Amino acid sequence: MREVAIIGVGMNKWGELWNDSLRDIYVDAAIEAIKDAGVDHVDGMYIGSMTPGLFVGQEHIGSLMADYLGMKGLPCTRVESACASGGVALKSAFLEVASGHSDIVIAGGVEKMTDCSGDDATYALATAADQEYEVFHGATFPGLYAMMARRHMHDYGTTREQLAHVAVKNHKNGAKNPKAQYPFEVTLEEVMTSVMVADPLRILDCSPITDGAACVVVADLATARKICKKPIVKITGIGHATDSIALHSRESITRLDAVTTAAERAYKMAGKKPTDIHFAEVHDCFTIAEIIVAEDLGFFKKGEGGKGAESGETHIGGRIPINPSGGLKSKGHPVGATGIAQAIETVNQLRGDAGARQVKGAKVGMTQNMGGSGGSCVIHIMEVI
């Protein structure tokens, strides 16, 4: 199996993009990634997108995007794994290059979520939960994660303030990210007094509805060495796993087994352990998600993730910086594109191109992209060489 590197990155400014279509935002991100890579052709493309059919009424987006990118005839496949679609698209591109079938492949992600009503967006997102046993009975993702938060608070003493510290930290980072949907800081008091969504989660504990796209160009290492004018970022570990979609089917709702399993596989492939990771981009769809994920990745003992957020260990400059991009909470969460945006932040950090968000001395980074309430998870470990 060949070694694989990311040689180009591209991402549009995320937010409520009323004047741009699904194809517009994807093509903009793809062109930026191709220019950054400095390539004159690609051999294939994978696009992560959770449910464009429900959000904008458009399926068959592989063909659509190849055509509007000016690459009609290019083999292009849409990839779906709920909110982990982008991460699985990157894994798919990695495998195509690693196998030797192709040398240069685009891995992208896109979602246009604001062209439908709030109720329709809620319905579309809920398709990633168990329809018969959760959604039929009125469960929403804020409600599901609220149950996880309540149980975590009961079992481990996690506090409402610790949840808020995650949001404060991620907005502080996102305020330094020019591509973020919400590039502003929030205070602990603002989070704690924001509108209640599902007790104990308030609106500032929740990631937003977002329009956005992101793309990376991956290549075999030999090609990367010939082309790259910037530091080369190699993908050294990948882990992918699934779990029961429904919370009631799990042994514990304070543990994400898909995350633990995917992490074990990624660490083994990369020959790393949690203490070797210099920073991580994780799936903070809700503040409690970042806390549980940080524990299940091995950065904290079970039940101590909240304390880590409160003490500053997860801040830039802390022991293990988490979500220097601002995370889903501040950067935004166009569900199909999130996993690719995590990879872009990781590449920028490892290249030393993250500006005011730069993690000093970053050489090894991790992305953790998750579908639904943890029914799927894909993890990538990357190193600069």
Kindly report, residue by residue over 70-95, the tens digit of the pLDDT: 999 999 999 999 999 999 999 999 99
How many CB atoms are closer than 10 A to CB 32?
18
The pLDDT assigned to 58 comes to 97
Query: Which residues is 110 bridged to in the sheet?
Result: 213
What is the value of pTM for the model shown? Answer: 0.97
CB-count exposure of residue 368 (10 Å: 0-12, 13-18, 19+): buried
Rounded to an integer, the average pLDDT of 322-346 is: 98
What pLDDT score does 25 carry? 98
* Closest alpha carbon to 40 in 5, 78, 2, 8: 8
Q: Where in the chain is the domain with CATH 3.40.47.10?
A: 4-117+209-227, 124-205+236-384
Residue of 339, 343, 342, 306 whose CA lies nearest to 326: 342
Packing angle of the helix pair 160-174, 287-296 (nearest 10 deg):
90
Per-residue model confidence (pLDDT) at position 252: 97
Q: What pLDDT is attached to residue 356?
A: 97
Q: What is residue 16's predicted lDDT score, i.e. its pLDDT?
A: 97
Over residues 225-235, mean pLDDT: 95
User: Are the CB atoms for 3 and 207 separated by under 8 Å?
Assistant: no
How crowded is residue 70: how many other Cβ atoms within 10 Å of its Cβ?
10
Give the tens place of pLDDT for each residue, 240-291. Answer: 999 999 999 999 999 999 999 999 999 999 999 999 999 999 999 999 999 9
Average pLDDT of the chain is 97
Going by pLDDT thresholds of 50, 70 and 90, the confidence category of residue 163 is very high
What mean pLDDT is predicted for residues 212-232?
A: 96
Average pLDDT of the residues in 126-143: 95
Question: What pLDDT, on the 0 to 100 scale, is given for residue 298?
Answer: 98
Rounded CA gap, 239 and 353, in Å? 26
- The DSSP secondary structure of 215-266, one letter per residue, reads EEEEEEHHHHHHH-SS--EEEEEEEEEE--SSGGGSS-SS--HHHHHHHHHH
pLDDT for 63 equals 97
pLDDT of residue 260: 98
What is the CATH number that goes with domain 4-117+209-227? 3.40.47.10
Specify the residue for token string 């510290």.
165
Instruction: Report, as residue numbers or ranges, the catalytic residues.
Output: 83, 333
pLDDT at position 327: 98
CA-CA distance, 194 to 83, in Å (whole number)? 25
Distances (CA, A) of 255 to 152, 208, 215, 252: 9, 24, 31, 6
Q: Which whole number is the average pLDDT over 317-328?
A: 98
Q: Which CATH class is domain 124-205+236-384?
A: alpha beta
The span from the CA of 60 to the CA of 78, in Å, is 8
Give residue-wise pLDDT tens across range 9-64. Answer: 999 999 999 999 999 999 999 999 999 999 999 999 999 999 999 999 999 999 99
Which residue pairs, CB below 8 angstroms and at least 24 apart, start in 294-299?
A: 294/320, 294/322, 296/255, 296/256, 296/259, 296/260, 296/263, 297/259, 297/263, 297/366, 297/368, 297/379, 298/263, 298/267, 298/273, 298/274, 299/274
